[in-house]
Amino acid sequence: MKPLKFFVVADPHYFAKSLDAYGTAYEEFMDFEQKCYAETAAINDAVFDYLKNSADADVILFAGDLSFNGEKASHIEFSQKLKDLQDSGKDLYVVTAGHDIEPNPFEFNEEQGRHHVEGVKFRDLYDYYRDFGYDKAISFYEKTLSYVAQIGDGVRLLVLCNDGDEGKNLAYSDEMMAWAKEQAEKAKEENQIMIAMEHYPLLPGQPLLTLIPDARQKKSRDVINMLADSGVHLIFTGHMHNHSINVTNSDNGNILYDVCSGSIIGCPAFMRLVTIEDEHTVKIESIAIPEFEWDKKGKTGKEYMKDQFERMIRSMITGMKDDPQRLLRRFGAGDKKTLFGPTRKIGKAMSTWSVGKVTRLLGVKADRRIKDMPFLELAVSIVRYAFEGDQPYVEGTPEGDTILKFFKRLNPIFKILNKKLHGSQGETLDFYDILKNSVGNYGMSDYNSILRF
């Protein structure tokens, strides 16, 4: 076969230029938001220009959450942008996701604050996106807008969507699993390489995400077994806005890579350029999104998005100290008055103590190079790197060694937690290992890797 190259763009979360995103309520909302919001149209414009002019690849996959929150106006504008890009000679394939059918989309302005705007129903999505996959499909599973398309010579794409008229982010039905398996086996018989795309990751993007039910496709183990055992060894996903590459084996020992890409409108903001070299080798590269036109206050786009990410984490930590009720309200616990005092105390320690002072609580001496560093700065970096990927705090670094010594002291607590808690899909947990691998990346690079199967 001839090598095939394509781009993967995840979570563009387009917010229509005709809608509002400003005012006091908007700024309050943005204190706890990772994604840029008012800026999404400008960012998408820059990315679309880049894709249009790139000679690297003509095939482009969009891995879901096409609109910000399912606003009808955003779907109208975004589908027009896709059409223009496709008309320029590119070949586009999309999957839709939960944010595309949010029941209560909204906009912000000063006069009305946050208020509702018109959304769409799942069944409307076909009309917006039919030209970017559904109508080009060799097989179309209409109920969930899933399909198979021939995206290159000898390469097929299986697109899985887990929404339907009855709801979003559901487990796949037996009927849909049987359809997908049949398609994968057919591809194998016809000597086609089949790769897959769905919005929800099959593997937790970072080990800590094992604990969060919404971070993964439901009953993901069944999907992993079905795909890997039918000859599909690579899936592209998005959703949690983290950038990661993970690998597993099916129960029968067949390999599956989950290449999860971060949102293009939030830190770290990378696209993927993928090369299928042959039936056993795929090259993954990551490309930072291009500069976008916006008043970025003298910052680069990368710095601007990083600052928004850190604003979110800082607001959460300092918010614990300054206004515990506001923070707890954000997580649906604004009425739990007994939590206000402890939240304030933890927030105060996290916002004002040094790394050395925190680790001394458990009798751990922090590495001298970081002991006077504000703990808040380390905490913000740990969270940011968990989303960025290629987390640097591995054994042998001042941060990694200090953090791991601290975690070791927590081992008696971890042992109890390991017995009492399970992952969101029933997995046995090892908290030390989960945390170690969340602060440091020990496997392959999350950015540029060669996948072999």
State in angstroms the smallest separation of the CB of 384 from Fe ion: 17
Give the DSSP H/E element, type plus range, for residue 48: helix 40-53
Binding span for Fe ion by CB under 5 A among 63-71, 226-234, 304-312, 351-359: 63-71
Scanning 151-159, 233-241, 297-305, 340-348 for contacts with Fe ion by CB under 5 A, the matching segment is 233-241
The residue sitting closest to Fe ion, measured at its beta carbon, is 65
**Number of other residues whose CB lies within 10 A of the CB of residue 349:** 17
CA-based nearest residue to 271, from 287, 258, 255: 287
* Residues touching Fe ion, count (CB under 5 A): 4
**How far apart (Å, rounded) are the C-alpha atoms in residues 410 and 413?**
5
DSSP state letters, 76-93: HHHHHHHHHHHHTT-EEE
Nearer to Fe ion, 216 or 239 (CB): 239
Q: Name which of residues 77 to 106 contact Fe ion (CB under 5 A).
A: 97
Residues 415-444 that bind Fe ion (CB under 5 A): none
Q: Which is nearer to Fe ion, 97 or 187 (CB)?
A: 97
Give least dist CB 223 to Fe ion, A: 17
Of 4-12, 81-89, 150-158, 364-372, the window that binds Fe ion (rule: CB under 5 A) is 4-12
How many C-beta neighbours within 10 Å does residue 342 have?
Answer: 11
State the nearest-atom distance from the C-beta of 425 to Fe ion, in Å: 18
Structure tokens at 163: 């929404």
Tell me the closest approach of the beta carbon of residue 36 to Fe ion, in angstroms: 12
* Rounded Cα gap, residues 306 and 266, in angstroms: 8
Minimum distance, C-beta of residue 216 to Fe ion, in the bound complex (Å):
11
- Nearer to Fe ion by Cβ, of 29 and 340: the residue is 29
Residue 221 to residue 218: CA distance in whole angstroms: 8
Q: Of 156 and 239, which CB lies nearer to Fe ion in the complex structure? A: 239
Instruction: Please state the closest distance from residue 194 (CB atom) to Fe ion, in A.
Output: 24
**Smallest separation, CB 65 to Fe ion (Å):** 3
Residue with smaller CB distance to Fe ion, 58 or 107: 107
Shortest separation between residue 265's beta carbon and Fe ion, angstroms: 9
Residue nearer to Fe ion on the CB measure, 260 or 358: 260
Distance of CA 192 to the CA centre of its chain: 29
The minimum distance between CB 12 and Fe ion, in angstroms, equals 9
The overall longest dimension of the chain from CA atoms, in Å, is: 64
Output 78 or 375, the one with its CB closest to Fe ion: 78
Examine residue 198 and tell whether it contacts Fe ion (CB under 5 A).
no
Q: How many CB atoms lie within 10 A of CB 369?
A: 12
- On the 0-12 / 13-18 / 19+ scale of CB atoms within 10 A, 297 is exposed
Three-class DSSP category at 289? coil
Q: Omega of the bond prior to 290 within 30 degrees of 0, cis? A: no
Report residue 155 as tokens: 């390469």
Which residue's CB is nearer to Fe ion, number 34 or number 359? 34
Query: What distance in Å separates the CA atoms of residue 68 and residue 48, rounded to the nearest whole number?
Result: 17
Listed ranges 65-73, 111-119, 158-166, 407-415: which one lies at the site for Fe ion (CB under 5 A): 65-73
Q: Is the peptide bond before 207 cis (omega within 30 degrees of 0)?
A: no
Q: How far from the centroid of its chain's Cα atoms is residue 64's Cα?
A: 10
Nearer to Fe ion, 97 or 197 (CB): 97
Least distance CB 214 / Fe ion (angstroms): 8
In 3D, which of 33, 39, 44, 38 has the Cα closest to residue 66? 44
Identify which range of 10-18, 160-168, 276-284, 344-352 contacts Fe ion by CB under 5 A: 10-18
65 binds Fe ion (CB under 5 A): yes
Query: From the CA atom positions of the chain, what is the Rg in Å?
Result: 22
Query: With binding defined as CB under 5 A, does residue 239 bind Fe ion?
Result: yes
Which part of the chain contacts Fe ion (CB under 5 A), choosing from 7-15, 122-130, 219-227, 293-301? 7-15
| Only segment of 59-67, 165-173, 287-295, 327-335 that touches Fe ion (CB under 5 A) | 59-67
Q: H-type helices in 290-337, by residue range? A: 301-322, 324-330
Number of C-beta neighbours around residue 351 at 10 A: 18
In terms of DSSP bridges, do strands 155-160 and 193-198 run parallel, antiparallel, or are they unpaired?
A: parallel
Q: How far is the CB of 264 from Fe ion (least distance, A)?
A: 10
State the nearest-atom distance from the C-beta of 407 to Fe ion, in Å. Answer: 30
Among 8, 11, 172, 414, binds Fe ion (CB under 5 A): 11
Which among 57-65, 249-257, 361-369, 421-429 is the span making contact with Fe ion, rule CB under 5 A? 57-65
**Surface-to-core class of residue 428, CB atoms within 10 Å of its CB (0-12 exposed, 13-18 middle, 19+ buried):** exposed
Residues that bind Fe ion (CB under 5 A): 11, 65, 97, 239
